[in-house]
């Protein structure tokens, strides 16, 4: 579909949808942009998983190795009864390393926009961790959302791996961190996985 026809559609019934506005504003901006949150329906989530297995896609491999070596150290920083809240949980592969290392985690709250995928992952987690409360939240993590009320008695630890924070512009990353602080509250911990800035030439050589 051409951008002209998308713009023309703005006149039609869906002109007020946030998606229509983001597409029109983003694709008519210079440089063009579109939030990665729109990549992720069930097919997008499956494709992302396939991408993480490619030799060129090092972040997942590196982070799994870091967590494999250091999750027990991170676990020691968590309060005795903790809820781990993952912003953009995907396959929850990295959360599983935290769960394995931290018996103090009593509840896991995967938050993801890809709701069908999220429901299927939650079922697998419940099967594999029968003593854990698995409380999925289908939500856009850049917007206000409610945590399950049953977490009230637990300490909270946010988990934001995958360098997903790198998908934001700097001002959006700041806004997200403020938003996460509001959701998690004052005494919470936040574990964020951030990739370093790469030399573009180096990134090019990897392809
Ligand atoms: N944390 C996982 C997955 C990273 S991929 C890991 O490190 O392996 C990014 C995930 O965030 C995807 O599952 C995608 O569906 C989700 N996501 C992206 N933008 C989102 C948004 N705005 N709100 C909620 N989930 C989002």
Quick: pLDDT tens for 56-98: 899 999 999 999 999 999 999 999 999 999 999 999 999 999 9
* Rounded distance between C-alpha atoms, residue 136 and residue 80, angstroms: 22
Nearest-atom number in ligand 1 for the CA of 52 is 8
Nearest-atom number in ligand 1 for the CA of 88 is 11
Cβ neighbors of 60 (< 8 A, separation 6 or more) are: 52, 53, 93, 162
* Rounded distance between C-alpha atoms, residue 63 and residue 28, angstroms: 35
Architecture of domain 42-192: 3-Layer(aba) Sandwich (3.40)
Look up the pTM and report it.
Answer: 0.90
Residues of each domain in the chain carrying CATH 3.40.50.150? 42-192
Reported as a single tens digit per residue, the pLDDT across 173-186 is 999 999 999 999 99
Residue 191 has pLDDT above 70, yes or no: yes
Q: Give the mutation target among 36, 40, 125, 173 for probing the ligand 1 site: most ligand atoms within 8 A of CB.
A: 40
Q: How does residue 35 score in pLDDT terms, banded at 50, 70 and 90?
A: very high
Nearest-atom number in ligand 1 for the CA of 161 is 7
Q: Beta partners for 189?
A: 157
Q: Give the mutation target among 41, 48, 88, 117 for probing the ligand 1 site: most ligand atoms within 8 A of CB.
A: 88
Residue 197's pLDDT is 86
Using an 8 Å Cβ cutoff, are 59 and 195 in contact?
Answer: yes
- Comparing CA positions, the residue from 203, 114, 95, 202 lying closest to residue 157 is 95
27-30-35-36 Cα dihedral, nearest 10 degrees: 100
Pocket of ligand 1 (CB under 6 A): 36-37, 40, 45, 48, 60, 86, 88-90, 93-94, 112-114, 140-142, 161-162, 164
Residue 202's pLDDT is 77
Residue 120's pLDDT is 97
Helix (H) or strand (E) run with residue 82 in it = strand 82-87
Nearest-atom number in ligand 1 for the CA of 59 is 7
Q: Whose CA is nearest to atom 10 of ligand 1?
A: 88
Residue 123 has pLDDT above 60, yes or no: yes
């Amino acid at each position: 579909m051409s951008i002209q026809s998308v713009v023309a559609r703005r006149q039609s019934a869906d002109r007020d949808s946030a998606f229509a506005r983001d597409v029109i504003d983003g694709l008519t901006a210079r440089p063009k942009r579109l939030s990665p949150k729109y990549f992720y329906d069930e097919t997008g989530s499956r494709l992302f998983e396939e991408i993480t297995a490619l030799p060129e896609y090092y972040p997942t491999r590196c982070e799994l190795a870091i967590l494999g070596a250091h999750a027990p150290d991170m676990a020691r920083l968590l309060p005795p009864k903790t809820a781990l809240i993952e912003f953009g949980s995907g396959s929850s592969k990295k959360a599983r390393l935290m769960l394995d290392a931290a018996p103090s985690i009593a509840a896991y709250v995967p938050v993801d926009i890809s709701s069908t995928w999220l429901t299927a992952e939650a079922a697998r987690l419940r099967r594999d961790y029968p003593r854990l409360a698995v409380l999925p939240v289908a939500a856009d993590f850049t917007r206000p959302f409610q945590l399950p009320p049953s977490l009230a008695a637990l300490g909270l630890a946010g988990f934001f791996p995958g360098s997903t924070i790198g998908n934001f512009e700097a001002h959006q990353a700041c806004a997200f961190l403020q938003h996460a602080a509001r959701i998690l509250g004052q005494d919470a911990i936040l574990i964020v996985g951030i990739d370093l800035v790469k030399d573009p030439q180096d990134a090019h050589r990897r392809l």
